[in-house]
């Protein structure tokens, strides 16, 4: 499968999250981890044969570290192997926020170190989800932003 195929599966999972959970979770100001969990639920059915883990910080028996302890919000991978498909960071804030820029930077570092095929930053807002797709290796990473809006 190609990166475009992975992106489409992720979009499908996000559409299901939007349809079933987004409005209710935003209304009660649910924590990022709650949102990440619901998104992970919808990813599982689309990525058969892969593990979908929240805040997973292991590289086999070692703890994943760059400069600090790294615990990605969601990863799609096969545990105890080098098959790292996708890493997610999620914020309930717009892409212009400093924290969001830091999260995009963390994703870029993880892609380089652990060879993820795709990085995804999700900025979850009341009226839209900002998605940043990060593709490539250390030298040629690209960012592509898109917006997903709730259909009313």
HSE-CB for 50 with a 13 A CA cutoff = 20
Instruction: Indicate which CATH number applies to the domain containing 102.
Output: 3.90.1570
Both tokens of 12, joined, read: 């499908």
Task: Give the residue from 123, 26, 41 showing the smallest Cα distance to 74.
Answer: 41
- Count, residues in the chain: 152
Q: Are 18 and 38 in contact (CB under 8 A)?
A: no
Ranges in the chain, pLDDT < 70: 57-70, 93-99, 138, 151-152
Task: Specify the number of domains making up the chain.
Answer: 1
Distance CA 98, CA 78 (A): 31
Based on its alpha-carbon atoms, the radius of gyration of the chain, rounded to whole angstroms, reads: 15
Model pTM score: 0.87
Query: What is the residue range of 49's domain?
Result: 3-149
Both tokens of 55, joined, read: 């805040």
pLDDT at 136: 83
């Amino acid at each position: 499968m190609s990166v475009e195929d992975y992106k489409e599966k992720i979009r499908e999972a996000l559409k299901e999250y939007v349809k079933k959970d987004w409005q209710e979770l935003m209304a009660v100001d649910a924590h990022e981890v709650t949102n990440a969990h619901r998104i992970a639920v919808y990813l599982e059915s689309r990525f058969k044969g892969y593990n979908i883990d929240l805040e997973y910080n292991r590289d086999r028996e070692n703890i994943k570290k760059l400069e600090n302890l790294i615990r990605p919000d969601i990863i799609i991978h096969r545990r105890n192997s080098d098959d790292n498909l996708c890493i997610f960071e999620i914020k309930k804030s717009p892409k212009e926020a400093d924290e969001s820029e830091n999260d995009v930077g963390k994703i870029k570092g993880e892609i380089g170190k652990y060879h993820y095929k795709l990085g995804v930053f999700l900025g979850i807002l009341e009226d839209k989800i900002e998605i940043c797709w990060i593709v490539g290796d250390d030298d040629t990473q690209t960012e592509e932003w898109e917006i997903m809006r709730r259909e009313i």
